[in-house]
Structure 1
Amino acid sequence: MSDSRPATTSTDTLPEVITRYLDAHRAHDGATAITAFNAGAAVTDDGRTYAGTEEIRAWLDRSATEYTYTSRLTGARRTGTDHYTATHHLEGDFPGGTVDLHYRFTLRDGLVDRLVIEP
């Protein structure tokens, strides 16, 4: 039986694969970020879904240069077996200038299978 109750997780106890992705994404290191995803992974960002590592790699490359912003991890929690949410506060030159985004991860076999990024 799985425990689906949300559990607060210290940001330093997120699974390694999530911190690897978050650190690489923040550093605009797409080559390292893509290693966090399995071959059939999907990412949904800004209402659009990118399926498979080719589309995810293109999304990573584009998102790294589209806007200039700072990102600060403000919280993290386990929301179920292999499900985690990392919350970031972003400030930059994108429309609106500030936003709190929730990065909702689903892991499978130790890698990211699904990532949904939304306010």
Structure 2
Amino acid sequence: MKLPENIDGLLKAQNEADSTAFAGFFTEHATVFDEGSSYTGREEIKHWIQEATEKYNMQVTPVDFTQNGTKGTLSVETTGTFPGSPAMMQYHLDMENALIGSLKITG
């Protein structure tokens, strides 16, 4: 599957546990919504993904991606040391040019 360069880079950074690179794919004031919490700004997003990746040893594999204008939905299979692994999750993305303005994770 061919993903846009920024989405491919986001997943690569997540799988390599590179929280700084991961946060770099977001706008300065982006927001992430995950498991009932929200994280705003690159610094909070960086700490969120670092903690989640270390806690659950997560790896993501893209399954499907659709984009309509600035909105995108990425389906990923997520594996790790969490109950119910592997799990299918959806990343609901709002894009601002090549950066992510918001990300809501459902699954």
TM-score in terms of structure 1 length: 0.82
Cα distance in 1 between the residues matched to 2:58 and 2:9: 19
Query: Which protein is bigger by CA-based radius of gyration?
Result: 1
Q: How many residues align?
A: 107
Equivalent residue, structure 1, for 2:35 = 46
Alignment RMSD, CA only?
1.4
Please show how residues 31-110 of structure 1 align to structure 2 within 5 Å.
Answer: 31-78=20-67, 80-110=68-98
Q: Moved runs in structure 1, 4+ residues, more than 6 A?
A: none
Q: Pick the aligned partner of 1:113 from 88, 95, 101.
A: 101
TM-score in terms of structure 2 length: 0.90
- Contact kept? 1:71, 1:90, Cα under 8 Å: yes
| Structure 2 residue ranges without an equivalent (≥5) | none
SS at match of 2:24: helix
- Contact kept? 1:18, 1:112, Cα under 8 Å: no
Cα distance in 1 between the residues matched to 2:42 and 2:60: 24
Shift of 1:97: 2.3
Q: Say which is worse superposed, 37-46 or 83-92, in terms of deviation.
A: 83-92
Cα distance in 1 between the residues matched to 2:71 and 2:19: 23
Cα distance in 2 between the residues matched to 1:42 and 1:89: 22
Paired amino acid for 1:92: G
- Contact kept? 2:26, 2:101, Cα under 8 Å: yes
Paired amino acid for 1:99: A
Cα distance in 2 between the residues matched to 1:17 and 1:72: 15
| Structure 1 residue ranges without an equivalent (≥5) | 1-10
Equivalent residue, structure 2, for 1:3 = none
